[in-house]
Each structure stands twice: as C-alpha cells, then as structure tokens.
Chains A and B, each alone.
Chain A
Amino acid sequence: MSSGAIVVESHPADTLLRAERLPHILCPGCGIGSVVHTYVDAIAASGIPQDKHVCVSGIGCSGRAAGYVNVDSYHTTHGRSIPFALGIATYRPELHVTVISGDGDLTAIGGNHFIHAARRSVALLVLCINNFNYGMTGGQAGPTTPLSAMSRTTPHGCWERPFNLPFLAQAVGASYVARWTVLHVRQLRAALIHAMNKEGFRFIEILSPCPTGFGRPNDIGDGISEMQNYLRRCVVDNGIDLRQTDIDLTQQDSPIYVGDFVDVDRPSFRPQVVQHAH
C-alpha cells in the first residue's frame, strides 16, 4: 500500500471480535472502539468461557458495539437493552450478560428500565458509554449533556441539569459503581474483570470523546484534545461521596472524579422458586 499502512494477517483479538465486520462505522477520534476492545480483552481475562458471555445493546453509536463482539449479541430497540437482557439473564442465570449502550439510550428513553433493573439487582453488567450527546442522530442534547454545553438541540447552550450517573446508580441499588474514561484503559479493564465476576446490577460509566457530535460544537477539538482534557482534569478518588461527582464543563478546571466508587455484596435477582410441599 502506498500509504505505508502496516498490514497484518491477524490480530490477538480476532477470536473475540467479529473481524469480518471490521472496519467499524465509528468516527475518527471516537472512544467506543477503545471500550469494545477493552471489553473483549476483559472477556478473555474474566475466567468465564467466551460462550457464556452475552452482549446486549440498544440504539445509537454505542448500541453498535454488540455487533462487533464475537459472543451471542443482540442489538435491540432504543432504550430497551436492559429489559431484553433481563429476559436472558433471568431465564439463563449461568450466562454473563453485559449491556453496552450510550447515555441517551440507557438513561433517557431507557431510564425507567435502568432504575428498576438496579432496584431488582438483576444480574447485569451495564456499561454506559457517556459521550454527552446523541451522536448517531448528529449531536443532540441528552440527559448527561453538561450545563451550558452546545448541541443541535441546545444551540443557545444546555440549560438543563444533567444526571450524575454514579450517584444515580448507587441510589437505585447497584452493587458496583465505577467511572472511568477511555483514557483509563488499564483501570477500566480491571474494573470490567472485577465486575464480570460479581453478582447484582453492576454499572460502569465510561466517559468517551465524541469529536463529531460534542467536541466540535463545544470547541474541544478532536478526540485527542478531549482525551487530553480528561488527562488534565480527571481525579481518581475511590472513596468520594457520589453527591460530588457531577461533571461541570463551565468550570474549565473543575475536577472530573473517576474511580471504583461502590463495591458491595448484593445477591442477584433470581426467579422465585416455589418449593413443592411434600
């Protein structure tokens, strides 16, 4: 190739990814690819057979993640990945079901399912790739869009308070809550492996750059600039009170707290078994 690109015949993740589907559809600088790679890397290291992993996603850029991982994978309707996954996880408790979806999918249209699955302690690992906007539809505001941020539907700046997702997840009963960014691949990998082997509703928020939908209108620049922003502002604080983990973009130097915030034992929701009286 005249471009000088390095061409290889195989890749270590070939058996974990649906290699025939690559290259993916995501924009340059997008963080979703890193999440997918970290996820499959964690599958390989999880100690759980690959065939027992199931991936469910909703609609949006992050919803496409399920289409690239080489496990039984289901790309469902907008917001409904969690109840769909509940059906699998509850009927076949031996399967390890991970939901990968975006902030809009999981916490706007799917918000009701999110809180009820957490309340029930459904055996799900839920990864919310938070890029602060609806990317697939071209950059509209969502429930995590920070105050004052620009988007296609907040052309004068976002005037709604966003969710603080770790705080929400803790409040509704998650057994595990973490927040990392796509920059923190090692920490994220460790968090995934740990969470895959826990019971209950486990939630990891993963902050991810979206240079097209969010970076450009907010003058953040390309994906690298957004990553540099994370590098500069992220503060690891595992023990922080989750009321303090709001993300504020108006204060350029305010910290973005990341860490493994909550890790408690909470048994998974199981179907009721009625013992036969004898």
Chain B
Amino acid sequence: MTPATAPAIDEHPRVISGDHFMLGDHACAEGALAAGLDFYGGYPITPSTEIMEHLAERLPAVGGTFVQMEDEIASVAAIIGASVAGARVMTATSGPGFSLMMENIGLAAIMEVPIVIVDVQRASPSTGLPTSVGQSDLLQVRWGSHGDYSVIVYCPSSPQECFDLTIAAFNAADQYRVPSFVLMDEIVGHMTERVVVPPQEKIQRVYRKRPSVPPGSPEFLPFKADEDLVPPMAHAGEGYKVHMTGLTHDERGYPSLTAQTHEKLINRIVDKVRLNADRIVRYELINTEDAEIVVVALGCTARSARRAVARARMKGIRAGMLRPITMWPFPQTVLKELAGNGVVKRFVVPEINLGQLCREVHRHTALPVTRLNHPGGAMITPDQILEALEA
C-alpha cells in the first residue's frame, strides 16, 4: 500500500494517485477528474451535493469549468452545450433533480451528445426521505425521457467503484455518443472507504470519434454513422457548420419529418447500444458455479447480499450472487445462462424499491423469483436476505 499523504497546498494534481480513505461522492468526483472532466454544470441536492462541492473546489484548480446552474433542467442543457463545443462533461443530482433532467436527456440521446449524469438515489417519490437511501430510479434512468433511446448505466457498490465506474461512464458516453449514468445510492455515496487511485498513465480515456475529413468537405455528414452505428462528432467553432436538432433528422442533421427517417434514426440510436451490449455489459458473479439459489442485487444492496450468501454457505445452502454492474444494458445473457444451467432453482431479488430489478429478472427466466423489497429509508439487511434464501 502507498497511502497518499495530504497534498501540499500548492499542488493541484488532476489525478491524485495513491490510496485514500474517501467518501463515495468524492470518489465519483475524483473519477470524473481522472476521466478528463472539462465542464461541470449542476444544482445542489442531497445526497449528491458532496460531488458538486468537491468539484467546485477541485475543477477550477485543474483548469476546468464549474458552473452552478439555476436548476437541473439548465444543468443538463449546459453540459450538452459544452459537450457539443468539445468538453468532457458531467452533472450530478438526486431524485427530484433527476426528474427535472429527463427532458434534456432525450435531447442528448437524439442529438447523440456524450454526457455523464450521476444520480445518487434517495428514498422517493417526490421529496421523500432526502437523506436516506433508495434504489427506485432503476427504470426511470432507462425510460425516463419520452420515446425510445438508449443509455448506459453503471451501478457502483463501493467508493472504489464510484471512482472506477465514473471513468467508465465518461468513456462509454464518448465511445457511443450517448447519455451515460452513474446510478449511485445514498449509502454508497455517503460511505467512506479505501479508494485506490491508479497512476495517471494507467487510467484509460476513450474519446469520441472525430471527423476524418477537413471542414467544408462535402462528404462529411454529421449524422452518418460508421459500422459501429456511431457517427464521428464535429465540435462548435471548428468550421464544419453542423446543425443539430431535437427534431428527427437525416444524415446532414437537417429536420426530416417522415416516418422513414424516424425509423432509421431511432433504430440506430437504440441499436448502437443494443448491438454492442456484450462489449458494454459488466457484472460480478460470486459462488455461482454450483449455486442453487442466486441473489441478483446491485449497489449497496449487493453488499448485504454478499454477506447473506457467505452466511448461507456456512449453513450449507448453495447460494450465489449475480451483481449487475451495468444496470443497462442489463446482463441478460449471463442471467439466462444461469437460469438455464440446470442447477439454479430460484432467484432472490432484494432491492430498495417495490419491484424494479425483479421485473428485468422475470423477463429473462421462467424460474421462480423471490422478491424482497423495501420502499426506501433503510438498507435491506443480510439477515433479511438470508431469510429469503432459507425460505
């Protein structure tokens, strides 16, 4: 271990390599800095505020732009604007603010503008329990804006993953030109744990594809996709004179209000994630080799599940766990494999909402699914999960 000493006042490194005892929210902010965050626009809201406060201090000191916006609608609009001008961008929020962001998430999706949004879930709906945990935005993050589009969503279950997966979210947003999300929860955001920040050169950054032809080339069409279904992106002020619109548009970016154009565009923005899902999906398996009962849990609930599985094993119950690290795209292939391996008899799905993750599990298996739900305000405990495993 190489514990980092407190940085001297006159040092403002972008990447604070070393070992830290760090808050989940701060780890997310540091992950963003390590990923190359250029522009943050946000509005304070519990329990995500620590991300914003941390960046208010850190981002200007490393040459980035920090703006406190007038609301969450403006926050997303501003980061989309900065992104079309070439910036790596992020905002962070929680429940009520996340609801306000839905409108422009759809804009980023149809304009194919890379943005990263962090949602630290709290007990909801509405104001709910502002300082307490919830996991009830699992479906909103996928379907919250009107219409069909695709997103990439990471669910950290530790401060270390808050760091690592925020970097992953930046890379995915740029690679696929989609809104990507770090879907945290209050427990993970507000817990402090060891976080290892790698040396800067070990942190991989993936950037959006850029036009291969100079400005003015007639062959450059801003929405003509390559084989991976992702078009290269020209930035404001480079001379390409792009037009981007939230209206259905053709490869030139011009409004084309026909069903045919719509079909082509929407299928492509959905397929670019759907068809690349195997490359994007991440998950963790614990003790599933011989498991008869598999817990499917994510975020802070996966921490309880991990202990419940260990205790169940001590009692002779052949339990295992599938932890989706990407909630979307959902790790359905591995779930189907488990469901069809002839050993697994049942799934147990604990989640801090009244039944969202279990819908997705149900969709991919005919096996029994035991639901374990709490609407928020408290974690689901290892004892409760153990009980469900024993039932």
List the interface of chain A (C-beta within 8 A of B).
18, 21, 51-52, 54, 56, 59, 66-67, 70-77, 79-80, 82-92, 94-95, 112-113, 116, 271-274, 276-278
A277 x B77 contact (CB < 8 A) = no
A88 x B245 contact (CB < 8 A) = no
| B85–chain A nearest beta-carbon distance, Å | 5
B74 x A116 contact (CB < 8 A) = yes
17 A-B pairs besides A86-B67, A92-B85, A276-B12 with CB distance below 8 A are A72-B242, A74-B243, A75-B245, A77-B104, A80-B77, A83-B74, A86-B77, A87-B85, A88-B82, A88-B84, A90-B67, A91-B38, A91-B65, A91-B82, A95-B237, A116-B69, A271-B67
Interface residues of B, dominant DSSP: mixed
**CB-based nearest B residue for A80:** B77
In the assembled complex, B246 has its CB within 8 A of some CB on chain A: yes
Contact with A along B41-84 (1 / 0, CB 8 A): 10000000000000000001101111101110111011111111
**Most A CB atoms within 10 A — which of B66, B77, B241?**
B77
A272 x B60 contact (CB < 8 A) = yes
| CA A52 to CA B242, docked complex, whole Å | 13
* Range for the number of chain B residues in contact with chain A: 35 or more
A278 x B10 contact (CB < 8 A) = yes
Given A52-B237, A72-B237, A80-B77, CB of A90 within 8 Å of CB of B71: no
The 10 A-B pairs of least Cβ separation, nearest first, read A87-B81, A83-B74, A83-B77, A87-B82, A75-B245, A271-B65, A87-B78, A84-B81, A116-B70, A80-B77
Residues on B with beta carbons closer than 8 Å to the beta carbon of A84: 77-78, 80-81
Given A95-B236, A272-B66, CB of A75 within 8 Å of CB of B38: no
Residues on A with beta carbons closer than 8 Å to the beta carbon of B391: none
| A1–chain B nearest beta-carbon distance, Å | 26
| CA A80 to CA B102, docked complex, whole Å | 13
| A76–chain B nearest beta-carbon distance, Å | 6
Residues on B with beta carbons closer than 8 Å to the beta carbon of A83: 41, 69-70, 73-75, 77-78, 81
| A262–chain B nearest beta-carbon distance, Å | 22
Residues on B with beta carbons closer than 8 Å to the beta carbon of A88: 81-82, 84-85, 236
B78 x A67 contact (CB < 8 A) = no
| A11–chain B nearest beta-carbon distance, Å | 17
Residues on B with beta carbons closer than 8 Å to the beta carbon of A91: 38-39, 65, 81-82, 85-87
Residues on A with beta carbons closer than 8 Å to the beta carbon of B12: 274, 276
Within 8 A of A (CB), among B1-41: 9-10, 12, 38-39, 41
What are 29 contact pairs spanning A and B, CB under 8 A?
A18-B254, A51-B237, A52-B237, A72-B243, A73-B241, A73-B243, A74-B245, A75-B243, A76-B246, A77-B106, A80-B103, A80-B107, A83-B73, A83-B81, A84-B78, A86-B77, A87-B41, A87-B80, A87-B82, A88-B84, A91-B81, A91-B85, A112-B70, A271-B64, A271-B66, A272-B60, A274-B61, A276-B61, A277-B9
